[in-house]
Each structure stands twice: as C-alpha cells, then as structure tokens.
Amino acid sequence: MLTESYAGLISKAVLERLGHRSCGSRLINFHHGTSTPVIDVSPLGDYSPIYYVQFEDVTSLLLTGKFAREHREEILLDSPHRKKPRTEDPGIETITAEDAPSQSEKPLQRAEDDVGNQRKKRQNGKYCAMTPEIRQKRQEEKQKQWNEIRRILCPTESQLSSGLEDRPDCLIVATKFYPVEITLLLMQFLPPGRPFVVHSHILSTLVDLYNILKRRGSCTQLQLHDTWLRPIQVLPNRTHPVMKMTSGGGGFVLRGYTVQRLEDPDAHLTRSTMRASTKQLFDEGLISYSK
C-alpha cells in the first residue's frame, strides 16, 4: 500500500522493486481527488498491476466493506423517503440582490463557467463516442478491480486465509499533507507483523504520530530519525564532521512494525475487527469523517 504526493517518483521505485507482473505482486495507490495519478513507466503492462483507491472510499471500506459510491446507492435504494418534486418552475432561478454577482465578478465567473462547460462537453463527447459494448466492458473491468481491492483490503470471512498471504505486506506514506490521520486510517488495513514507514518534511507531525502509536499500543520498534544527516564521514586521509545534504530531498522518517492490540479479538483483521478499531479512532477524535 502506498500514498504519495511526489509526482509518482516513489511509485516508480516501488514498481521497480516489485518486479515483473508474473511475480504476482500488486500495488494499491491511495490518492486525493477524483483524478488518478499518472505513473510514467514504460511498458506499464510489464510491471505489477496498480489499483487506485480514493481517500473518500477508505472510511467506507473500513466501516461497511464497500466503496462510497456503492454505499450511497444502497442507501438511496433502501430509503423509503423519496425526494419530493419541486413546486417552483425548475427553469426559473430566483437570485436576490445579495446573491447577485457584482459587475467586476461577472467576467471572471463567465470565464470559469466556459472552462467548466468545455470540460463537460469533452467528457460527454468521449462517453458518447463509445459503443455500448465498450461501455459494458469498461464497467465490468472496473467492477472486477473493485472486487479485487475489497478482497485484499477487507475480505469476507470466506475469503480470509490462515497465513494472511493475500493481505497487504507493507505501508508507505510519503505526502506533503498532515500524515497523522492518513497513516492511522491506512494502518487499519495492515495485519500484525507488517512494516510501515512515514516520511514528512516536518518533524513535529511525526512526533505527534509517534506519541499516538505508542499510546495505542498497535506498533513496536518505532524509530524516528533523519536519514539525510551523516554524523561523521570518513574518507581516506581525511574525515569530515557533521555534513547535511541540502539537495532539497531532506525530511524525517518514522518506521516500525504493526502488532496485535489487546483490544483486537483476532489477528486476521476481519471486517468486524477493522470496523471496531476505526470507530475507536473516531471516538478518540484522532480522525474525522471529512475526506
């Protein structure tokens, strides 16, 4: 499992280490927003398959075992309340004097509307150009990927393996955002005995995460250090004292291994166990329902 905000640099390195597709490895890439990150590797078909998951689906997968879109559709279908039709004419929009844009805002608003309309037209044009067979094939491929992601991250009782072979092997977090909430959420998918590493340019954020993990008792061998510092560099006939690399790639690293907590009833991370652990994070105020 991986989440990063460095233009796919770490994703490329991970794909190189995973090897050829025939090795059976997989990379699950968590990302913000609706657009999947572009990983420029050639040829992409020779590398391990990449499954993309939006962060808005993480909470839904942990609590319900389903993607957010699937969960919303089920709620709408099961809800006995239907949306009441609007009594006013939908073609007439009432704007008050306070809501009316000023003369200086009108050109900017018109330009933004034009850009949005052009983007929608391009998307609709591509969709309309597809044949029904292509649309159905793409929908089946997407559903197949969703089922595979669910089987890896939150399997059912029948899909669980005794040796946890099909579960995630490690977690890599390298993001410019606040890493505490992201790491706590993604660690719910990680079985006991798996390594994880978190990189950040700000030391205080990793200190917060270190204290939270230490208090929860879900990790062991926690180490927080700066890998870009060399205390002493020894070379033939000369020795340099403390030498810091200033290439713009510095930062701090927190790493450790997951362990089974006393509160967890099993080590296989069933859906009920992940749901209970996630609810505890919400109750403690460590994570929120926001995306």
The better pLDDT of the pair 149, 107 is held by 149
Domain assignment of residue 150, yes or no: yes
Is 229 within a domain? Answer: yes
Task: Quote the tokens at residue 177.
Answer: 């955002």
Q: 50: how many CB neighbours lie within 10 A of its CB?
A: 20
Residue scoring higher pLDDT (269 or 33) = 33
For residue 257, tell me if it sits in a domain. yes
Structural domain boundaries, residue 9: 2-70+138-284
Question: Which residues does 136 contact at the CB level (< 8 Å), separation at least 6?
Answer: none
Residue 256: is its pLDDT beyond 90?
A: yes
Mean pLDDT, the chain, rounded, equals 78
| Domain membership flag for residue 230 | yes
CA distance 216 to 106: 53
Residue 266 has pLDDT above 50, yes or no: yes
Would the pLDDT of 247 be above 60?
no
pTM: predicted TM-score of the whole model, two decimal places: 0.72
| pLDDT computed for residue 74 by the predictor | 66
Q: Is residue 124 assigned to a domain?
A: no
* Residue 93 pLDDT > 80: no
In a domain, 87, yes or no: no
Bridge partner residues of 200 (DSSP): 252
pLDDT score at 30 = 93
The predicted model gives 130-154 an average pLDDT of: 84
Say how many C-beta atoms besides its own lie within 10 A of residue 264's C-beta: 17
Nearby residues of 65 by Cβ (< 8 Å), 6 or more positions away:
150, 154, 156, 271
Residue 76 covered by a domain: no
> What are 248's two structure tokens?
């713009």
Q: State residue 87's pLDDT score.
A: 47
Neighbours of 5 (CB within 10 A): 13
When pLDDT is cut at 50, 70 and 90, the band that residue 197 belongs to is: very high
Is pLDDT at 22 greater than 80 in this prediction?
yes
Residue 49 lies in a domain: yes
2 SS3 class:
strand
Contact 206, 224 (CB under 8 A): yes
Identify the CATH number of the domain in which residue 269 sits: 3.40.50
C-alpha 55/C-alpha 67 separation (Å) is: 10
**Residue with more model confidence, 241 or 263:** 263
Q: Parallel, antiparallel, or unpaired: how do β-strands 243-244 and 229-230 relate?
A: antiparallel
Highest mean pLDDT among 50-64, 215-229, 233-247: 50-64
Residue 213, pLDDT > 80, answer yes
Q: Which residues of 158-197 are buried (b: 16+ CB within 10 A; e: fewer)?
A: eeeeeebeebbeebbbbbeeebbbbbbbbbbbbebebebe
Ranges 104-108, 143-147, 178-182, most confident: 178-182
Residues in the chain: 291
Given this model, what pLDDT does residue 94 score?
46
Split into its structural domains, the chain has a count of 1
